[in-house]
Chain A
């Protein structure tokens, strides 16, 4: 099978939300020595873009999006399994720590955003759900991330986003990280009020915001 055919197969696997096909195509990409970045950018991410666009248009729904994300993550694991940390860093658009805030166990939105960010070329560290504020800050420092991304699905858990910004300020490290927040009750006004850097309403919006934040970081 040619490189082009394998890339097409990777793209189709995501569009068809088929994890088995994604694993098969990723295995073939590894076997023939396709650069993992090319496999992602020319294969998997194109499929994810199709799914994401259809989702934004209301033609694809959350279950399909979740299965596409699962297929994407499986293929990513196979493509990048043997890559060194240094090579990953070089290939990355930026490093993002993502989590669902303390007290909140709703992580579907966060999981979709995580996949979309990966598809957008970001290196994403996922802390999971119901993550304590102190743990978020500790992991952000330890992993030297560029962006802290957090989702809150309940009005009662939104204040954890404010607390993250407050702890970063208290520690004197606020300027080392950009804070990108989202979630059903979260709004642009809320993000401005708590002194975070960006708000995203959708998964594709989160990718755009993350890219804009990285551009700000690079400009210094």
Chain B
């Protein structure tokens, strides 16, 4: 994977890897409930994504970020129209944090995504496969309730650390399971850390993310750390995790973050999934994407992406426009070189 990354950095063309899974369900007759519960169906949609958008530089499992919380004991609401979401919290105080059991990696729906990644790694061999998973602070915040977790990050740090240690233990096992299944990396989503102050981000997120990175990342396995919050002041903290890729949301100007990141790390971002890709016209999508590509010209370690996971209802025409914008931009660069 180090070669994969260096090839991307050295390439004349800009590469693309949006967090794209659910919108392509509209191309098959599958609903969300089926693909988050059935590895074969999940893999088939990963294949659909690649077949529809060949420029994707990796295959990705869907970002169902409820799987880990459900495995820990949270209730989850499922619908065929949207990604699942957690409906309750299970940690209320120190006692419930202490009694929280770290589940087996074989429990819950985690094995669905691991198996889907295995099928992808075996069958989509012309590009790497990434598994999607939730970062430790984001998982802890789901288990505790976000507001309780954020308040406790000041008033009751020890309780947060107790939960974080257990989330990290599970996260390491989950990332290792993806690796053992043949995946080439993970996209580790840590959006809730974007709500923290920089020192808190060090203490409650990056320190634990680093444990996961240290446990799995090597020449053949690549960790992309995603944080779609207001991260301009958190970049140093994020980079301290040692992850080799960083994925940002549309809350930031990409120039402000990429300029803080060494040029041998990949930096992904950040077309607005809601206001541009979902609500926008095809013209807006193309214009916004090209404007970002122009702005990123000085940065060879930039990879075009969405600012976050893309929701099911995004029109395929808008996605086509997003990819067309890149294609036209790259062709324009080729002509200039000639």
Contact = CB atoms under 8 A, between A and B. Distances in A.
Interface of A: 17, 58, 60-64, 66-67, 70, 105-108, 111, 154-156, 184-185, 187, 189-190
A184 B154 contact: no
Interface string B246-284: 000000000000000000000000000111001100000
A190 B274 CA distance: 11
Given A58-B233, A108-B146, A63 B278 contact: no
A190 B313 CA distance: 16
Contacts of B311: 154-156
Interface string B152-184: 011100000000000000000000000000000
Nearest 6 Cβ contacts at the A-B interface: A185-B274, A61-B197, A62-B195, A156-B82, A63-B150, A155-B311
Interface of B: 81-82, 85-87, 146-147, 150-151, 153-155, 195-197, 200, 230, 232-233, 273-275, 278-279, 311-313
Given A105-B87, A155-B274, A187-B275, A67 B154 contact: yes
Looking at B154, B232, B273, the one whose CB has the most chain A CB atoms below 10 A away is: B154
Contacts of A63: 150-151, 153-154, 195-197, 200
A61 B153 CA distance: 12
A185 B233 CA distance: 22
Contacts of B278: 155, 185
20 contacts: A58-B232, A61-B195, A61-B196, A62-B150, A62-B196, A63-B151, A63-B153, A63-B154, A63-B197, A66-B150, A66-B151, A70-B151, A105-B85, A154-B82, A154-B85, A155-B273, A155-B274, A155-B311, A156-B313, A187-B274
Nearest to B278: A155
Given A63-B195, A190-B279, A108 B154 contact: no
Contacts of A156: 81-82, 311-313
Contacts of B155: 67
A155 B313 contact: yes
Nearest to B251: A184
Given A61-B197, A62-B150, A67-B154, 17 more contacts: A58-B230, A62-B196, A64-B154, A64-B197, A67-B151, A108-B150, A154-B85, A155-B273, A155-B279, A156-B82, A156-B311, A156-B313, A185-B278, A187-B274, A187-B279, A190-B275, A190-B279
Contacts of A64: 154, 197
A154 B81 CA distance: 13
Contact of B279 (A17, A108, A154, A189): A189
Contacts of A185: 273-275, 278-279
Contacts of A184: 274
Looking at A70, A105, A107, the one whose CB has the most chain B CB atoms below 10 A away is: A105
Nearest to B195: A62
A131 to B, nearest CB: 14
Contacts of A189: 275, 279
